[in-house]
Amino acid sequence: MAAIIDVQGLGKTYEVGNEKIDALKNITFTVASGEFIAIMGQSGSGKSTLMNLLGCLDTPSAGKYCINGKEVSSLSEDELAHIRNREIGFIFQVFHLLPRSTALHNVELPLIYSGVKKAVRLDIARQALQSVELSDRMTHKPSELSGGQRQRVAIARALVNKPSLILADEPTGNLDSRTGEEIVAVFQDLHRRGNTIIMVTHNQELADLSQRIFYLKDGEIVKEEKTGRTK
């Protein structure tokens, strides 16, 4: 399978006063199309920094990061914005939904930024909500939805542009155990449908659904574990 992600010697250094802090050091891996990767590690291990780099929200201090054959460091701000909108679907722990907008409008937002015509984008947004079993909640606002339903809206929003890569940051972190299990099932289905997923999680059950688990410590991958799963 073709590599969607190719990371070689990636590093990120922050300057705090006169001190330099290496948040990431010599990170190297590839991710094939359709793979499901989990990233685990304690707070401060570099997980969020790595996700920010993979999501083109920050730039590396060292090394090379390519997504679909495009080296990120050589891209302009406009090109990076295009990749964030078209190539990457983001799913966050805190949902990031517009509180006064309906589920349908929240899901169609990436398509608005992409310039998709209204009739087309509404149809795509409806299909995305149906795919996460929320066809009966399209006109509800976030305050009228449960935590699990809000996360499903966020997942639907991440899917509407049919991204090459889904980046999920602690998608069950704000949910109770029962609701978390529902979201686990959603991710299992996303992977079965062929989506490429990289996920930061403390949820071992969710990590065990992946095909490989990277364990980070002090900014380095200290262990890679294959789970034996396929789809």
Q: Which domains does the chain have, with CATH numbers?
A: 34-60+75-226 (3.40.50.300)
**In a 3-state reduction of DSSP, which class is residue 191?**
helix
- The lowest-confidence range among 101-115, 164-178, 213-227 is 164-178
- Mean pLDDT over each residue of the chain, to the nearest integer: 90
- State the amino acid at position 146 in one-letter form: S
Whole-angstrom distance, CA of residue 126 vs CA of residue 124: 5
- For residue 200, give both structure tokens: 């930061």
- Which of 116, 191, 129, 185 is CA-nearest to residue 157? 129
pTM flag (> 0.85): yes
H and E: helices and strands count for the chain = 7, 10
What would the pLDDT profile of 35-90 be if each residue is shown by its tens digit? 999 999 998 899 989 999 999 988 899 999 999 888 988 888 888 888 888 889 99
Where is pLDDT greater, at 108 or 173? 108
Q: What pLDDT is attached to residue 173?
A: 82
* pLDDT recorded at residue 93: 80
Average the pLDDT over 163-167 and give the result. Answer: 91
Query: Is the predicted pLDDT of residue 7 greater than 90, yes or no?
Result: yes
Q: Determine the length of the chain.
A: 231
pLDDT at 230 over 80: no
Which H or E element spans position 16?
strand 3-16
What pLDDT does 114 receive?
Answer: 84
pLDDT, position 1: 62
Burial of residue 51 (number of CB atoms within 10 Å: 0-12, 13-18, 19+)? buried
What's the DSSP call for residue 72? Answer: G
Starting from the edge strand earliest in sequence, which strands make up the sheet with 165-169, in order?
88-91, 165-169, 197-200, 36-40, 212-217, 220-226
Please give the average per-residue pLDDT across 220-228, as a whole number.
93
**What tokens were used for 209?**
């659904």
Tell me how crowded residue 109 is: count the other CB atoms within 10 A of its CB: 16
The stretch 93-106 carries a mean pLDDT of: 91
% the chain with pLDDT above 90: 56
Average pLDDT, stretch 23-41? 94
Reported as a single tens digit per residue, the pLDDT across 177-221 is: 888 888 888 888 888 888 899 999 888 888 888 999 999 999 999
* Spatial distance between the Cα atoms of 41 and 43, rounded to a whole number of angstroms: 7
